Structure 1
Amino acid sequence: MNPTVPFPTDPVRRKSYGFVEWFRPGEFDRTEQLLPNILASGAGYLRTHLSWAEYLAPGGEEWFDWLIPRLGSQIDLLPCIHYTPPSMSRTGRSSGAPRDLKSYADFVDHVLTRYGRHFSHIELWNEPNNLLDWDWRDDGDFLLFCEMVGGAAYWAKHRGWKPVLGGPCPFDPYWLNLMGERGVLGVVDAVGFHGFPGTWDSETGTWGGWDMHLGEMRKILDRYNRDAEVWITETGYSTWRSDEMEQARRFVKALSVPADRMYWYSWCDVPPDVPVQEGLWFDPRHYHLGAVTHDYQPKLLARLLMEGGVSRLEDVTQLATPNLSAGAAPVVVTGGSGFIGSNLADSFLQEGEDVVILDNLSRPGVDQNLAWLTERHGKRVHPVLADVRDLRSIEAAFSDAKAVFHFAAQTAVTTSLAHPIDDFEANARGTVNVLEAVRKAGKNAPVIFASTNKVYGALEDLKMLEVEDRYIPANEGVRSHGIGEDRPLDFCTPYGCSKGVADQYVLDYAKSYSIPTAVLRMSCIYGPRQFGTEDQGWVAHFLIRALSGEPISIYGNGKQVRDILHVDDAVQAYRAVLSNIAEVKGEVFNLGGGPLNAVSILAVLEEIEKLAGHPLETGFGDWRAGDQYYFVADTRKLERQLGWQARVRWQSGLRHLGEWLADNRFDGRSRRRQKQKVRA
C-alpha cells in the first residue's frame, strides 16, 4: 500500500471481509453446515488453521486432505500453519519450537505441494508473541522463531505463494520492529493484526484505537517492507452479555479501518463443552464470539449479512440515534420495534410524547417498524438498541422514564422447547432486569407487562364439546364469558413457565417495592405491523402465506378456538391501564377479543380464502405441546374497572390486516388482484 495515498475508510467502499473458523478433525458435518451460510453472508475470505500437530496425528492427513480442498474450492482460503507436533517440540508442547527449525519449513513446503492450488496466501504461525501459541520462555529473544518462520516465508515466496506473518496478540510494536530487524518482515507479503476492542482490550486502557495501532504497524512496515499489506487477521466482539447490536456495530467499524483485509473472529460460537485453551475454560467471553450460536442460530450480525450484506447491516446499525433532551420524561417501550410495541409507541408519539424504543431487533422485519416510527415522528423517537438480558446496557434507558411498557420477550412456544435456557434468560431474567432498572432509577415509574394466556396451561380440565368447525366448553359460564382472572395458574412449556415467572415478579414488585405495576394476560393479537411466523403471530402468518399463494400448515385439526383481538383495541387497553394505574396497581387483567371475537382456526381460514380470492392449500400436522383446545378471555374486569371494550370485529379486522399486508408487503398486488376479480 502506498503510504502517501489515504486508505479508503468509507464503509460503503469497503465491502470485502472474511471470517475465521477453526475446524477440528472429524468435523465433516459441522463444516458442511457452516460453509453455505458463511458464503451466504457475503464473505469473500475464510481463515482456518492447518495444525502441524494435528496433521501428523492419527487420521490428520486424511482430515486435511478433505478439509482444505473442500474450503478452498468455495472461498478465498487462508490456512494458518502452526502448532508443533509434541514429539518434535523442544518443550514437548505444541507451543514449543521444533528441535529442528528447518522441519517447519519442510512441512510448509509439503503443504504447498499437496494443497497449494487451493490458496494464494499462507499464514505462518498464530499469535507468536502469546505464550499459549509460542513458548517464548525458551526463546526469549525470538531467535528461534525468526529463523523458523523467516526460512519458511522465504521458501514459500520462492515457490510463488504469498506468506503472511501471524498477528501478535496483544499488539506489540516492539516485537513487530524486532521482526523487521531480524529480516522476517522483508520476506512476507502481509502482517496480521489481532484486536478485540470492547471484549478484552479496554478502550480506556491498553486499547488505543484502530487508527493508532494500525498507524504504528504501518510505520514499522514502511521501514522494512513498504509493499507489505496490513491484514486484520482476527477481530471480533463477544456477545456473552447478549449485546448483539454492539457486535454488529463493531463489525461495521472494523470494515472501515485502514487495513487491506479484515477477518472477523468468528463465524460460529464455541460449543459450551469444548475447552478453548488451557486455563481459559471458564471465561464466558471465549464462547460467544461467533456471528451464529454454537447450534447455528443466527445472531443479529449473521442475519443482517445474510439478508442484505454490509449495506443492510449499516442501515440497521445507524437506526440508533439517541437524542433525548435534558429534563424529558419519556415513555419507554421495551420491544418497541415489535408488532404491539410499535403500534403503542405510535399512539403516544402522535400525542407529542417522547418515546424510548428499547429493542434488540432480533426478530426479522422489526427494524422496518423502527424506521417507520422514525420517519413519522423524527426526533421524538429515541432508539436504544440493546437487549433486556444485559442489565448494564439498558439501565440508562429507564433513568427518566415516566412509564414503562414491557413487551420485549422470546415469544414462541416452539423456540422455548428447543432453547429453554435462552427462553428463561429473555423472559424471566429480562423482566427482572427491567424491574430493577426502574427501581434503581427511583422515579416510581409504572410498569405494565405483556403476559400471556399460556400461564393458565393447557386447560385440560375443561370439558369440551366438538361441533362442526370448533370446540366449545361444556360449562355454560365459560362458554358465555370466557376464562377469568380467577383461573388457577398452571404453567406449561418453558415459554409458559418463563412468562409466568415474569408475570408474578411484576405483580410482586407492586407489593415488595410499591412500584405501580399491572399485568395484561393476552390472547391472540393481530393487525398492521405484524410480521407473523408459523411459531408466533398465526393470523398474520396465515394471511401472508395466502397472499403469497403458499401452503398453510395447521397443527391439530383446526377446531381450536381463540378470541382474536385487533391491535388498535389492545393499544387502548394498555393505555387505559396506565391512565388508571393508581387504582389498578398490582392487578392482572385478561385481554382478548372476548366471546364476540371467538373464532376457530378453520373459520379464520375460510375468511382468509375469501380475502385472497383463491382456494387455500392447507396441510395438517400433530398437535403442539401445551396447545389449548379453547381460550377466550373473560374481559369483564377490564370493561368494569376501566371502561374498555373490544370495538373491532374480527372479520373487519382481518380485512384491515389483509389490506395493510397487500400494500406494505406485496406492493398492492394482492389488493389489485382482488379488485380485478370483483370487476370480473
Structure 2
Amino acid sequence: MTVEAAMIWNEPNNKSHWDPAVDPDWSIFADTVARAGRAIHRANPGVTRVLGGMSPIDPSWLQRIEAHGCLDQVDVIAVHGFPLDWNLWSIHDWPQRIADIEAVTDKPVWVTEVGVGSFGAEEVQVFGLKRTAELLIGRVPNIYWYSLFDLPMEWGAETRHREAEGSSYYRHFYMGLIRPDGTPKPALEEYAKVASEMGLMQWFHYHDPRLDDAVEWMKRLGTRKLRTGLSWADSFRPDALGWFDRQMEALADFDVTVTFCFTPEHLGVQPHHTSAARDPQGFADFCTQMIERYAPATVETVAA
C-alpha cells in the first residue's frame, strides 16, 4: 500500500466540520495543524502533508491561518468545490478559483473534493463531470472526484442543519456515481474515461459494508488514486484498529491520501466531533500512530 499523503482535518472553514464558536479565530486549529504536521513529518518525512481542504475556497481564510504560523508544517494547500450544487459561482470559474489561492501561497494546490450531484437530473452530473475534467486535469497535480457511491439516505449527512437546509441538504445523498442499490449512473461511464487522471474521494464509515465493492469498482474503472479518512473519534470504538487495518489493507493497490479528522466527543472543548480538542497534542499523537502503522518510514525515506 502507498500512503502518499496525509490530510490534516477536513473543511476546517466549514462549520459542519469545525465549530467556529469554539475557535473563532482558528488559532486552536492552527496549533492543531502545526502539531499534526510536525508529528507526521517525524513519523515519515516522505508523506506529503496536506492542509484540510477548504470549503468555501477563501484566500483570506488561508492568509488568516498563515498568520498563525502553521503553514510551515504543511506541503500542499487543498480546496473543495461544488459549483453546481452548493457554491455561488459557475463551474467555468474553476481556473480562477485555483488562481485565487495560488496568488496567496507558493505551495501546490490540490482539488481534494470536487463533485456534481444527480439530485436535479442525472444529465447534469454527466455534464459536470466532463466539464470538471476539462478544466482541472493538467491544471492541478491531484484531483479527487466526490464520490464513488451515493450516501445512503438512512445514514444522514455531516452537516449542521440537515432538513432545514431544504434541497441543498438532500443533495448530499446524490453525489455518487453509483446509486445505493449498486447500479451505475450515466456519469460513471464519463468518469471511466478519466479515471487514470482523476482520483476518487470516498469516505468509509466504521465497518462500512461497501468497502469491498468500492475496491472492485475502482479496479474495474482504472482508478489509481483514492482519498479517504481515518477518524480520530472512531479510534475509540471497539476493535477500531481491526477495522482500520481491514480498510487500509483493502486499499493496498491504490495511492492513498488519508484524512485525519473528527474529535472524540469526550476530548472536545464541546462534546462534538467538530469541536476543537481540549489538548491538540492528542490529535497529533493519533496522526503519529496512524502513519507509523500504515506508512512507516523506510531507511531510504529517513535518509532523504
Residue of 242, 245, 264 corresponding to 1:249: 242
Residue of 194, 197, 200 corresponding to 1:186: 194
Query: Aligned-pair distance for 1:293?
Result: 4.5
**Partner Cα separation in structure 2 for residue 68 and residue 150 of structure 1:** 34
**Partner Cα separation in structure 2 for residue 300 and residue 293 of structure 1:** 11
Alpha carbons of structure 1 residues 102 and 262: separation in structure 2 relative to 1, 3 Å: closer
Query: Aligned-pair distance for 1:299?
Result: 7.2
Q: Secondary structure at the match of 2:98?
A: helix
Q: Secondary structure at the match of 1:26?
A: coil
Query: Aligned-pair distance for 1:261?
Result: 0.5
**Partner Cα separation in structure 2 for residue 304 and residue 183 of structure 1:** 34
Letter in 1 for 2:78: P
**Partner Cα separation in structure 2 for residue 101 and residue 194 of structure 1:** 24
TM alignment of 1:461-610, pairs within 5 A = none
**Alignment deviations for residues 456-506 of structure 1 (CA, whole Å, 9 cap, x no partner):** xxxxxxxxxxxxxxxxxxxxxxxxxxxxxxxxxxxxxxxxxxxxxxxxxxx
Q: Check if 1:46 corresponds to 2:50.
A: yes
Residue of 79, 89, 92 corresponding to 1:102: 92
**Alignment deviations for residues 4-24 of structure 1 (CA, whole Å, 9 cap, x no partner):** xxxx5xxxxx56552441433
RMSD across aligned positions (CA): 4.3
Alpha carbons of structure 1 residues 185 and 234: separation in structure 2 relative to 1, 3 Å: farther
Alpha carbons of structure 1 residues 312 and 17: separation in structure 2 relative to 1, 3 Å: closer
Letter in 2 for 1:179: A
Residue of 21, 27, 32 corresponding to 2:9: 21
Alpha carbons of structure 1 residues 106 and 17: separation in structure 2 relative to 1, 3 Å: closer
Which residue pairs with 1:174 in the alignment? 178
Query: Aligned-pair distance for 1:40?
Result: 1.0
Query: Aligned-pair distance for 1:294?
Result: 5.0
Query: Aligned-pair distance for 1:148?
Result: 4.3
The unaligned stretches of length 5 or more in structure 1 are 1-7, 9-13, 56-60, 90-94, 130-135, 202-206, 223-227, 274-283, 314-680
**Partner Cα separation in structure 1 for residue 241 and residue 269 of structure 2:** 22
Q: Check if 1:122 corresponds to 2:111.
A: yes
**Partner Cα separation in structure 1 for residue 138 and residue 80 of structure 2:** 18
**Partner Cα separation in structure 2 for residue 125 and residue 36 of structure 1:** 28
Alpha carbons of structure 1 residues 299 and 18: separation in structure 2 relative to 1, 3 Å: closer
Alpha carbons of structure 1 residues 108 and 48: separation in structure 2 relative to 1, 3 Å: same
Alpha carbons of structure 1 residues 151 and 83: separation in structure 2 relative to 1, 3 Å: closer
**Partner Cα separation in structure 2 for residue 124 and residue 261 of structure 1:** 14
**Partner Cα separation in structure 1 for residue 191 and residue 61 of structure 2:** 34
Matched residue count: 246
Q: Check if 1:65 corresponds to 2:66.
A: no
Which residue pairs with 1:37 in the alignment? 36
Query: Aligned-pair distance for 1:73?
Result: 4.3
The unaligned stretches of length 5 or more in structure 2 are 14-23, 152-175, 297-304
Q: TM-score, normalization: structure 1?
A: 0.30
Which residue pairs with 2:166 in the alignment? none
Query: Aligned-pair distance for 1:295?
Result: 3.7
Which residue pairs with 2:301 in the alignment? none
Q: Secondary structure at the match of 2:244?
A: helix
Q: Matched residues, percent identical? A: 9
Query: Aligned-pair distance for 1:49?
Result: 2.2
**Alignment deviations for residues 430-457 of structure 1 (CA, whole Å, 9 cap, x no partner):** xxxxxxxxxxxxxxxxxxxxxxxxxxxx
Verify the 8 A CA contact 2:145 2:199 in the aligned structure 1.
Answer: yes
Verify the 8 A CA contact 1:46 1:75 in the aligned structure 2.
Answer: yes
Q: TM-score, normalization: structure 2?
A: 0.60
Q: Secondary structure at the match of 1:81?
A: strand
Q: Secondary structure at the match of 1:186?
A: coil
Verify the 8 A CA contact 1:269 1:294 in the aligned structure 2.
Answer: no
**Partner Cα separation in structure 2 for residue 309 and residue 101 of structure 1:** 39
**Partner Cα separation in structure 2 for residue 76 and residue 262 of structure 1:** 13
**Partner Cα separation in structure 1 for residue 277 and residue 245 of structure 2:** 20
Verify the 8 A CA contact 1:231 1:261 in the aligned structure 2.
Answer: yes
Letter in 2 for 1:263: V
TM alignment of 1:139-218, pairs within 5 A = 139-143=120-124, 145-148=125-128, 150-159=130-139, 161-168=141-148, 170=150, 172=176, 174=178, 178-182=186-190, 186=194, 188-198=197-207, 201=208, 207-208=209-210, 210-218=211-219
**Partner Cα separation in structure 1 for residue 228 and residue 294 of structure 2:** 22
Q: Secondary structure at the match of 1:211?
A: helix
**Alignment deviations for residues 289-327 of structure 1 (CA, whole Å, 9 cap, x no partner):** 99x945436279728729x922899xxxxxxxxxxxxxx
Verify the 8 A CA contact 1:105 1:149 in the aligned structure 2.
Answer: no
Alpha carbons of structure 1 residues 218 and 76: separation in structure 2 relative to 1, 3 Å: farther
**Partner Cα separation in structure 1 for residue 92 and residue 3 of structure 2:** 39
Query: Aligned-pair distance for 1:80?
Result: 3.0
Alpha carbons of structure 1 residues 110 and 303: separation in structure 2 relative to 1, 3 Å: closer
Query: Aligned-pair distance for 1:195?
Result: 0.8
Q: Secondary structure at the match of 2:144?
A: strand
**Partner Cα separation in structure 2 for residue 19 and residue 110 of structure 1:** 21
Which residue pairs with 1:232 in the alignment? 227
Alpha carbons of structure 1 residues 302 and 161: separation in structure 2 relative to 1, 3 Å: closer
Q: Secondary structure at the match of 1:232?
A: strand
Query: Aligned-pair distance for 1:31?
Result: 1.0
**Partner Cα separation in structure 1 for residue 213 and residue 203 of structure 2:** 14
Of the two structures, which has the highest relative contact order with CA contacts closer than 8 Å and spacing of 6 or more?
2
Verify the 8 A CA contact 1:265 1:289 in the aligned structure 2.
Answer: no
Alpha carbons of structure 1 residues 96 and 309: separation in structure 2 relative to 1, 3 Å: closer
Verify the 8 A CA contact 1:20 1:267 in the aligned structure 2.
Answer: no
TM alignment of 1:54-453, pairs within 5 A = 55=58, 61-67=59-65, 73-77=72-76, 79-82=78-81, 95-96=85-86, 98=88, 100-112=90-102, 114-115=104-105, 117-119=106-108, 121-125=110-114, 128-129=116-117, 136-137=118-119, 139-143=120-124, 145-148=125-128, 150-159=130-139, 161-168=141-148, 170=150, 172=176, 174=178, 178-182=186-190, 186=194, 188-198=197-207, 201=208, 207-208=209-210, 210-219=211-220, 221-222=221-222, 228-236=223-231, 238-239=233-234, 242-243=236-237, 246-258=239-251, 259-266=254-261, 268-269=263-264, 271=268, 273=270, 287-288=272-273, 293-296=277-280, 298=282, 302=286, 305=289, 309-310=292-293
